[in-house]
Amino acid sequence: MSQIKSLAKDTAIYGVSNIINKFLNYLLVPFYTYILQTTSEYGVITNLYSWMALVIVVLTYGMETGFFRFINKPENDANQVYSTTLCSLFTTSLLFALCVTIWQQPIASAMGYCNHADYIFYFGWIMAMDAFNTIPFAYLRYKNRPWRFAIIKFIGVLVNIGANLFFLLACPRIAQHSPQLIDWFYRPNYEVGYVCVSNLLSTIVTTLCLLPFVFEAKFNFSLSLLKQMLRYSLPLLILGIAGIMNQHLDKIMMPYLFDSVEEGNAQLGIYGACAKLAMVMMIFIQAFRYAYEPFVFAKNNSRNSVGAYSDATKYFTIFALLIIIGMVAYMDILRLIISPAYWSGLKVVPIILLSYLFEGIYFNLSIWYKLTDRTIWGAAFSLIGLTIIFVLNIVLVPKIGYMGCAWASLACFLTCMLLSYFVGQKKYPIPYDLKSMAVYFGITIVLLGIYYGCKYAFTQSDLMQHEMFGYTLKGYHISFLRADLANLLIGTCAVVAYLALLFKRDFPISSLPIVGKYFKNNQKQS
């Protein structure tokens, strides 16, 4: 019991810190959309970060998982495993960074950034250091030092945010009034470059914070041990690449599916910013994932484990659908988070939310091949999803732009979810409450159908187009119409109706913390 409590506490620290860090980084999205001069510039940032996510997976080549596998083997010396892993990652990461430095211009030209080879230089070193840092962070987890882990991550996020605010907000104002203070280093109209510089500074500070734990290793390198670790870890690289490509391939491909990279980046900027609005769902999934994985393996082999997995999937689906309804209902307010220059892409948000929902359910369903050690099925599903995204992006994006990316992502995760369910029911049957989930899906469709129907009617009514108030921001006139107020009222009714069903059917108010005790007595009396 004490071990489970310790696991729960550590999981909470890792999970909460991760969510806070993601939320703080999420706040940079509206900042970028209002500060950057064009949607194309934000498209460049989105494209570079997508490449970074993929390359870091390649540069770590499954060694993080291999580190945990081998350091916990009784026959292995823990320090030798740590030292060998550090030396391996340090060597490959340094070689990568040096190669990028030498060939930054050809790489930049191939990616369509021939005038900005410096972006490639910055990101090359960022990726190299981030890949190397995965092992010291893994070492902190192995040593059960969650607070050190969380604090260092938090410091890195704060440095990134602080540097962005300094270069993109403070420096332009200083340049207007006292240019002599910063003209020795500050370059006007270098916004994307300063985003790269900020990330590089954050990564450098994080690496420096990790150095004391790096030097805890005695550097007892073993070539034979490295060969064993590589045999174990390299196959995981395929699964890792497939998984990360399912999330980022559309953002990597989009700039090259248009007649010009500039047009592709402009479309990608709109798509990337609007997709970030749906990050509320992704943060919810991440929080659930941190709590669910320890729960799954702790429950395994217990008598009621199958029922617990079923309930967890049902309630995940219920609350994820609530997030979808809430975000759609209040989109007229949420859109103010990003610049009006990006509002044309808001129509992708419901599609992206739905694809995140299917991705989350797919994660829930994936427990069958994790518990039965048949992870090859996970690799197969991911590769099928990757093929779907690749083909649909090539077919749809040139015709319908960023909407093609959204539909391709939806098709990918819907397919992976269905495949995992039907194969899983044969290999490891779990009696999921499909009836309840279907009820909530149906109610969601009805409520959103009513909402969009009313919204369309309001847009056709001249009376509802009367402006209640408006203001101008960065050259855009933002108005609030009677139709917008009516949309909010209808959306609120949809949220209340869904909550009423939830409390009536599966989540009685008496079960809520704090306020629930006031309703238990009423239920007993009735």
Report pLDDT digits (tens) over 29-51: 888 988 888 889 999 999 999 99
Check pLDDT > 50 for residue 4: no
Check pLDDT > 70 for residue 455: yes
pLDDT in tens, 9-27: 555 666 667 777 777 777 8
Q: What is the mean pLDDT of residues 410-425?
A: 92
d(CA 67, CA 83): 10
Q: Does residue 276 sit in helix, strand or coil?
A: helix
Q: What is the mean pLDDT of residues 315-338?
A: 88
d(CA 491, CA 455): 10
* Contact call for residues 179 and 187 (beta carbons, < 8 A): no
Helix 2-26 and helix 28-35: axis angle, to 10°?
Answer: 10
Per-residue confidence band for 526, with pLDDT thresholds at 50, 70 and 90: very low
Could you tell me the sign of the dihedral formed by the alpha carbons of 291, 283, 384, 230, in that order? Answer: negative
* R_g (Cα) of the chain, nearest Å: 25
Helix spans in 145-260 (H): 146-165, 171-177, 191-214, 223-253
Q: pTM, whole model, 2 decimals?
A: 0.80
**Token duo for residue 254:** 């989009």
d(CA 119, CA 50): 14
Per-residue confidence band for 1, with pLDDT thresholds at 50, 70 and 90: very low
Per-residue confidence band for 302, with pLDDT thresholds at 50, 70 and 90: low
Q: What is the mean pLDDT of residues 481-494?
A: 85
Q: Does residue 467 sit in helix, strand or coil?
A: strand
Check pLDDT > 90 for residue 99: yes
Q: What is the mean pLDDT of residues 156-164?
A: 94
Q: What is the mean pLDDT of residues 45-62?
A: 91
**Which pLDDT score is estimated for 447?**
93
d(CA 175, CA 361): 50
d(CA 266, CA 116): 17
**More confident call, 120 vs 238:** 120
**More confident call, 263 vs 101:** 101
Q: Does residue 304 sit in helix, strand or coil?
A: coil
Q: Provide φ and ψ at 54, rounded to 5°.
A: -70, -45
Q: What is the mean pLDDT of residues 331-337?
A: 85
Q: Running DSSP on this structure, what letter comes out for residue 428?
A: S
Q: Partners of 303 in the beta sheet?
A: none
**More confident call, 119 vs 473:** 119
Averaged pLDDT of the chain: 83
Check pLDDT > 80 for residue 387: yes
Helix spans in 167-190 (H): 171-177
**Closest to 171 (Cα-Cα) out of 191, 196, 155, 156:** 191
Per-residue confidence band for 485, with pLDDT thresholds at 50, 70 and 90: confident
**More confident call, 187 vs 95:** 95
From the CB of residue 39, how many other CB atoms can be counted at a distance below 10 Å? 22
* Contact call for residues 397 and 261 (beta carbons, < 8 A): no
Check pLDDT > 50 for residue 226: yes
Per-residue confidence band for 3, with pLDDT thresholds at 50, 70 and 90: very low
Which amino acid would we find at residue 337?
Answer: I
Q: Running DSSP on this structure, what letter comes out for residue 36?
A: S
